[in-house]
Amino acid sequence: MPSQAVFNAKDGATYTTSSGAPVGEPYAAEKIFPNGPLLLQDFHHIDLLAHFDRERIPERVVHAKGAGAHGYFEVTHDISDLSCAAIFNAIGNRAKTTVRFSTVGGESGSADTARDPRGFAVKLRTEEGNWDWVFNNTPVFFIRDPAKFPHFIHTQKRDPQTHLKDPDMFWDYLSQNPESIHQVMILFSDRGTPDGYHKMHGYSGHTFKFVNKDGSWHYVQIHLRNDGGFKTLDDKTAGELSGSNPDYGIQSMFEDIEKGNFPSWSVYVQTMTPEQAEKFRYSVLDLTKIWPHSEFPLRPVGKLVFNENAQNYFAEIEQAAFSPSHLVPGVEASADPVLQSRLFSYPDTHRHRLGTNYQQLPVNSPIVPIANFQRDGAMAFNNQGNRPNYQSSILPLSYKPKAYKDVKHEQFLGHALADLTFITELDFEQPRALWQKVFDDTAKAHFISNVAGHMKNVKSKVVLERQLSVFAAVDPAISEGISKAIGHPGGVAPLKVKPASEAIRFKVNNS
């Protein structure tokens, strides 16, 4: 092996094998004669190729394309009456954060400006462990029955035979599952094509619980409002950027942070008491619904700032593992079935995508020491030294659980139900308000043109008319506008649904 060490011009490091031995010529391979053959003893060369062969890890099954950065969350207002989480115990408390923004349906090389919801995932490193906000840029979602998630996602991805995205599949699903209409209305407005990743709002979507030491608790929804407002692109610009610069979102955020134009958000909560939840018109466990701000105003909490680009994208962003189940004392999940399913799904996919010890990777590792009984497994970097690997008498219990009383708002009935929600007139009220009261004439025109641009490619008349009937149930003007734009004769009757009075309202199951 050549003994002359090679230095990297940038950082002055010596070029070495993965085991640390200096190597003189990175391109050289050991051969018997100048034309070969190669020698198996050449660890440098074999290791180089073998490691290269293993460079790829699975991309995220959803949200594969993303961009990220680091920053901080700072508490600006006292909400210690709502939650005993340590991060909230003083104004000015800060947690270091890592964010990953993403599109949902495309692969890791897909365009940043695709019409799609955006993921907005933040890891807050608190002194009580990591608290992950695994949010989207929309306040509602397509489903409220978790078993629909894989079906729904498959219809947004590629057809098993053609390996193409298929508008028939897309609208076939949505038209048969009209609880998606609220999210569809947002997706096909210009909010479906945000201007990059760092100029949009974020929403928990789900209801969580903030719990206090005395056991009192509130339902909460968390809102991240971009200080510069929610900037969007029109369909044409977004489409052009998909071709000319598919990495527009990654690039514009990276460059803004490098220039010191740090994106920031004001963090708010909406709160609801258990009693208010029982009287609320919609179920707080149904994430196809919003909580009207007029009834549940935004209460300021803090500031979120991203002021540092990653030095190494793979290590600091791609390997980040966010999960809604990474909670801290004082914050709990609600019984929302979609949220409950997510509590399982994320750590499960992380074990597959990153490995058993994914929590030990530097980006995921909490700032507090880990002391548990998980040991060994592949890549156990922090195997907890000589600490006993079972609950032993020499292990002091340093943490006393905070005094939670009853934080349950539901009582398990002792039998399991295989249950599925159904559609009522209640599901159309908020989408209708969006169309009639929130969208102005320009927003309405963009919406019709955005939907028409997608739906004109649907081949099946059944699928097309079923979705038109869903739009007609929101407002016949939508269905007629789309029909006209795609050359359909129109006159499709609104979808018939049960009256609002038959909707299953949220109530405590204590009977």
What residues are annotated to the active site? Answer: 63, 136
Q: Which two tokens stand for residue 291?
A: 């909580």
Site string for ligand HEM, 11-50 (x = CB under 6 A): ----------------------------------------
- Between CA 135 and CA 420 the distance in angstroms is 24
Among 321, 331, 434, 482, binds ligand HEM (CB under 6 A): 321
Please, what sign has the CA dihedral across residues 102, 108, 111, 116?
negative
**Residue 345 makes contact with ligand HEM by CB under 6 A:** yes
In the bound complex, which residue of the shown chain has the CB atom lying closest to ligand HEM? 119
CA max distance for the chain: 86
Among 282, 322, 428, 506, binds ligand HEM (CB under 6 A): 322
Shortest distance, position 304 Cβ to ligand HEM, whole Å: 15
Q: Which is nearer to ligand HEM, 362 or 369 (CB)?
A: 362
3-state secondary structure of 469: helix
347 with 158: CB under 8 angstroms? no
Site string for ligand HEM, 107-136 (x = CB under 6 A): ------------xxx------------xxx
Q: Which is nearer to ligand HEM, 353 or 432 (CB)?
A: 353
Shortest distance, position 323 Cβ to ligand HEM, whole Å: 8
Shortest distance, position 206 Cβ to ligand HEM, whole Å: 6
265 with 225: CB under 8 angstroms? yes
Among 197, 208, 296, 346, binds ligand HEM (CB under 6 A): 346
Q: To which H or E segment does residue 339 belong?
A: helix 337-353
**Residue 208 makes contact with ligand HEM by CB under 6 A:** no
Q: Which is nearer to ligand HEM, 93 or 341 (CB)?
A: 341
Any residues with CB less than 8 A from the CB of 234 and at least 6 apart, and which?
190, 193, 446
Q: Which is nearer to ligand HEM, 66 or 105 (CB)?
A: 66
Please, what sign has the CA dihedral across residues 444, 450, 456, 460?
negative
Shortest distance, position 61 Cβ to ligand HEM, whole Å: 5
Shortest distance, position 105 Cβ to ligand HEM, whole Å: 11
107 with 165: CB under 8 angstroms? no
Point out the annotated binding site for heme: 346
Among 83, 97, 98, 102, binds ligand HEM (CB under 6 A): 102
Residues 131-170 that bind ligand HEM (CB under 6 A): 134-136, 141, 146, 149
Question: Residue 37: is the preceding peptide bond cis (ω within 30°)?
Answer: yes
Point out the annotated binding site: 346
**Residue 57 makes contact with ligand HEM by CB under 6 A:** no
3-state secondary structure of 250: helix
Among 338, 434, 482, 503, binds ligand HEM (CB under 6 A): 338
**Residue 61 makes contact with ligand HEM by CB under 6 A:** yes
Quickly tell me which residue has 């996919």 as its tokens.
Answer: 349
Shortest distance, position 403 Cβ to ligand HEM, whole Å: 30
Q: Which is nearer to ligand HEM, 210 or 346 (CB)?
A: 346
Q: To which H or E segment does residue 103 belong?
A: strand 94-103
Task: For residue 83, give Cα distances in angstroms to 124, 186, 263, 329, 400.
Answer: 16, 31, 27, 9, 17
Q: Which is nearer to ligand HEM, 178 or 205 (CB)?
A: 205
Nearest to 287 by CA among 90, 401, 143: 143
- Between CA 279 and CA 273 the distance in angstroms is 10
Q: Which is nearer to ligand HEM, 141 or 170 (CB)?
A: 141
Q: Which is nearer to ligand HEM, 105 or 205 (CB)?
A: 205
Quickly tell me which residue has 């966010």 as its tokens.
Answer: 322
Any residues with CB less than 8 A from the CB of 55 and at least 6 apart, and which?
none
**Residue 225 makes contact with ligand HEM by CB under 6 A:** no
Count of positions (residues) in the chain: 511
Indicate the residue type of 317: I
Q: Which two tokens stand for residue 292?
A: 């009207």
- Between CA 53 and CA 57 the distance in angstroms is 11
Q: How far, rounded to the nearest angstrom, does the alpha carbon of residue 194 sit from its chain's CA centroid?
A: 15
Shortest distance, position 135 Cβ to ligand HEM, whole Å: 5
- Between CA 85 and CA 102 the distance in angstroms is 28
- Between CA 277 and CA 272 the distance in angstroms is 6
Q: How many residues bind ligand HEM (CB under 6 A)?
A: 28
Among 23, 62, 327, 434, binds ligand HEM (CB under 6 A): 62
Shortest distance, position 388 Cβ to ligand HEM, whole Å: 32
Q: Note the residues at the interface with ligand HEM (CB under 6 A).
A: 60-63, 66, 100, 102, 119-121, 134-136, 141, 146, 149, 205, 320-322, 338, 341-342, 345-346, 349-350, 353
